Amino acid sequence: AQSVTQLDSHVSVSEGTPVLLRCNYSSSYSPSLFWYVQHPNKGLQLLLKYTSAATLVKGINGFEAEFKKSETSFHLTKPSAHMSDAAEYFCVVRPPNFGNEKLTFGTGTRLTIIP
């Protein structure tokens, strides 16, 4: 069985300050991990993914995430927040050797950017 927990339902940061969105996972094996972003009234867009290569993964729009097996975490970071980053962010886990039917989504973290 696998699960993913996004530790904060809502995060607010000021424009220009760092962003940290936390995600912990539970999986019997080394999973694949993803971060998706959903802007208001839009679909989900892939930000980045980890699939057992480098543990530090760089994504689009300046985001990156680090896979830490010892901590079962895959936190999303960005050095400097931009107003356009305001959105809902989903951490997603998938067990190895399975297809997308086994994606498990977190409950999302709403990121608000304060001008």
Minimum CB separation from another protein for residue 81, in Å?
Answer: 21
| Nearest by Cα to 76 from 50, 96, 43 | 50
Asked if 89 and 13 touch (Cβ cutoff 8 Å), the reply is no
User: Does residue number 14 form part of the binding site for another protein (CB under 8 A)?
Assistant: no
Q: How many CB atoms lie within 10 A of CB 105?
A: 14
CB closer to another protein out of 14 and 32: 32
How near is the Cβ of 44 to another protein at its closest, in Å?
4
Residues near 64 by beta carbon (within 8 Å), at least 6 away in sequence: 48, 56, 57, 58, 76, 77, 78
If binding means CB under 8 A, how many residues of this protein chain bind another protein? Answer: 21
Distance (Å, rounded) from C-alpha 11 to C-alpha 9? Answer: 7
Site residues (CB under 8 A) for another protein, limited to 36-95: 36, 41-46, 49, 51, 88, 90, 94
Residue ranges binding another protein (CB under 8 A): 32, 36, 41-46, 49, 51, 88, 90, 94, 98-101, 103, 105, 107-108
